[in-house]
Amino acid sequence: MAVPIAVLDCDLLLYGRGHRTLDRFKLEDVTDEYLVSTYGFPRQFICYLVDLLGATLSRPTQRSRAISPETQILAALGFYTSGSFQTRMGDAIGISQASMSRCVANVTEALVERASQFIHFPEDEATVQTLKDDFYGLAGMPGVLGVVDCTHVAIKAPNAEDLSYVNRKGLHSLNCLMVCDSRGALLSAETHWPGSLPDCTVLEQAALTSQFETELHKDGWLLGDSSFVLRTWLMTPLHIPETPAEYRYNMAHSATHNVIERTFRTIRSRFRCLDGSKGTLQYSPEKSSHIILACCVLHNISLQHGLDVWSSPAAGHMEQPEEEYEQIESVDSEACRVRQELLLTHFS
């Protein structure tokens, strides 16, 4: 006799039916120290996320016992900060690994929907001037609106093998273009570029370039390293400095640009799912890109809440090819004129 096979919900087996949501874990029942050690953030920050994302995460569901927004956020934070779907993480909040995965997907999309709210360039003149003043205070480089660079995040090989994601080290990755301010807060984050693309090509094709060339800030510039092409709005170091002014310019440029490297280390340290120590992100390039962007949003929110992690040691490692680029000489005469004027005005 044939035996019928039922597909059972693993959470249903554990908890049964009867309520609309499952409040399996109470924030008030544990200490801040426990929350920080397990989920990477204190109670106040987690409560803010519940308020911010609660309505989105409470969308109508066919499940008779949906997972509460609070539990979904804890599950996602646990993954972002540990890089693991370990059983003990799900056990701590009373859900299965399959439900953990669903929670990460839900919270990730909710954060991505709000990316433009938390990651953007300032628009009012007073804030722009403050941005420039803060950068000038670092090493005396005037007119800086942000520092830009790329970083690679390792991902699993796409199901349909796509060589465009294979970087110089032969690993699959996404090449992420980011801009930050002097505190390390992100002003722009494009996380979807295939790992095979060099930094200069990513910038050439990026929305960031379109922004600066068509509408943004004609009286300032970004700082980029020698992997980028000099532009009127992007100052790069001199390949072979010869005069004292050129040496001073390069030193100020390097000291200021170092902020983005510290920011990358901070993000990898806080969000271990990105640092490669637990392996690659086991998602498609699109979903991996969204996870990276969600972590960028959380990074900015954490800075807004005073959770400064500049001093945190970098943990693990992120699979990232070493830069092996040649100096790219600019053929833009106007960009060369702007840099020369900067040298003469501020570094001579």
Domain boundaries, the chain: 32-57+67-113, 119-284+328-347
pLDDT for res 6: 38
Half-sphere exposure of 172 (CA within 13 A, CB side): 18
Asked if residues 57 and 110 have their Cβ atoms less than 8 Å apart, the reply is yes
pLDDT for res 214: 84
- Please give the radius of gyration of the chain, using alpha carbons only, rounded to the nearest integer: 23
Taking alpha carbons only, the member of 221, 218, 257 closest to residue 237 is: 257
Question: Which residues, in sequence order, are bridge partners of residue 22?
Answer: 67
CA atoms of 161 and 174, how far apart (whole Å): 14
Distance set, CA 128 to CA 120, 218, 247 (Å): 12, 12, 28
CA atoms of 87 and 100, how far apart (whole Å): 9
pLDDT for res 318: 43
pLDDT for res 7: 37
Helix residue ranges, H only, the chain: 10-15, 32-39, 43-57, 69-82, 87-93, 97-113, 115-118, 125-139, 199-205, 207-214, 244-270, 285-304, 333-346
Per-residue pLDDT of the chain (348 residues; tens, 9 = 90+): 444 433 334 443 333 333 334 455 677 778 888 888 888 899 999 999 999 999 999 866 545 457 889 999 999 999 999 887 665 566 667 778 888 889 999 999 999 999 999 999 998 999 999 999 999 999 999 999 999 999 999 999 987 767 899 999 899 999 999 999 999 999 999 999 999 999 999 999 999 999 998 875 568 999 999 999 999 999 999 999 999 999 999 999 999 999 999 999 999 999 999 987 767 898 999 999 999 999 999 999 999 999 876 544 444 444 444 444 555 566 689 999 999 999 999 998
Each as own residue / partner, the long-range contacts of residues 32-41 (CB below 8 Å, 24 or more positions apart, any chain) are 38/78, 38/89, 38/92, 39/74, 39/77, 39/78, 39/81, 40/77, 40/78, 40/80, 40/81, 40/82, 40/270, 40/271, 41/77, 41/81, 41/302, 41/307
How is residue 58 written in tokens?
């409470």
CA atoms of 262 and 43, how far apart (whole Å): 26
pLDDT for res 132: 96
